A and B are shown apart, each in its own frame.
Chain A
Amino acid sequence: MADKVSFDNVWELWRAGAIHMQNLASQYGEAATALHRTGLSQDQAFQGCTTNLPTAFANLRNAVQDQVFVVSQTNLIKSGEALADIATRFAERDDLNGRLLDKIEGLDEPGTNPDSRPPSYVPEAPKSGDPHPEDQPRPGGGY
Chain B
Amino acid sequence: MNDIVNISGDHEEKVDAITYYNDSEIESVLRELVKAAEKARKDEGPGDDWETGNGQSIRDWVDSVDGTYDWIPERFERFYERWAAFPRGMAMNLDDAKEPLKSGPMSDLNPVDTAVARWAGDSQEAFYENFLSPFPGAVTNHQGLIVELQAGLYAYEAVVRSMRAAARQIAKETINVLEGMNSGFFGSSDEEAKFGLAVVAAAAGVIGAAVTGGGSLGITFAIIAGGGSVATYGIDWANATDDETPHHIQGGTVADILESMQTALNTLWDDVEKAERGIAALFEATLDEVNGHLTSSSSINKRTLLPHEPDDKVPDLTDGDDISIDPEDGDFRERD
Q: Footprint of B on A, CB under 8 Å?
A: 1-6, 9, 12-13, 15-17, 19-21, 23-24, 27-28, 30-32, 34-35, 37-38, 41-42, 44-53, 55-57, 59-61, 63-64, 67-69, 71-72, 74-76, 78-79, 82-83, 85-86, 89-90, 93-94
Contact = CB atoms under 8 A, between A and B. Distances in A.
Given A2-B334, A41-B90, A79-B309, A31 B101 contact: yes
A34 B96 CA distance: 6
A133 B13 CA distance: 33
B334 A68 contact: no
A21 B100 contact: no
B286 interface: yes
Interface string B69-111: 0000000001001110011011001101111110001101101
Nearest to A19: B108
B228 interface: no
Contacts, number: 209
A4 B326 CA distance: 12
A81 B105 CA distance: 21
A45 B153 contact: yes
Contacts of B96: 30, 34, 37
B306 A75 contact: yes
Contact of A53 (B131, B142, B277, B314): B277
A15 B291 CA distance: 34
B101 A27 contact: yes
Interface string B280-296: 11011011001100100
B20 interface: no
B122 to A, nearest CB: 12
B149 A31 contact: no
Given A2-B334, A31-B146, 5 more contacts: A9-B118, A20-B112, A24-B112, A50-B276, A79-B307
Contact of B308 (A57, A68, A75): A75
Contacts of A32: 97
B305 interface: yes
B98 A31 contact: yes
Nearest to B324: A93
A94 B328 CA distance: 10
Nearest to A72: B307
A51 B277 contact: yes
A20 B290 contact: no
A69 B97 CA distance: 10
A46 B116 contact: no
B111 A20 contact: yes
Identify which of B99, B116, B291 gathers the most chain A CB atoms within 10 Å of its CB.
Answer: B116
B149 A61 contact: yes
A32 to B, nearest CB: 8
B332 A5 contact: yes
B152 interface: yes
A52 B287 CA distance: 14
Contact of A60 (B290, B309, B326, B332): B290
Nearest to B279: A53
B115 A16 contact: yes
23 contacts: A4-B334, A5-B332, A13-B115, A15-B115, A19-B108, A21-B108, A38-B97, A42-B90, A45-B90, A47-B82, A48-B82, A50-B273, A52-B276, A57-B280, A60-B148, A60-B149, A64-B142, A64-B290, A68-B290, A68-B306, A78-B309, A79-B317, A86-B332
A3 to B, nearest CB: 5
B42 interface: no
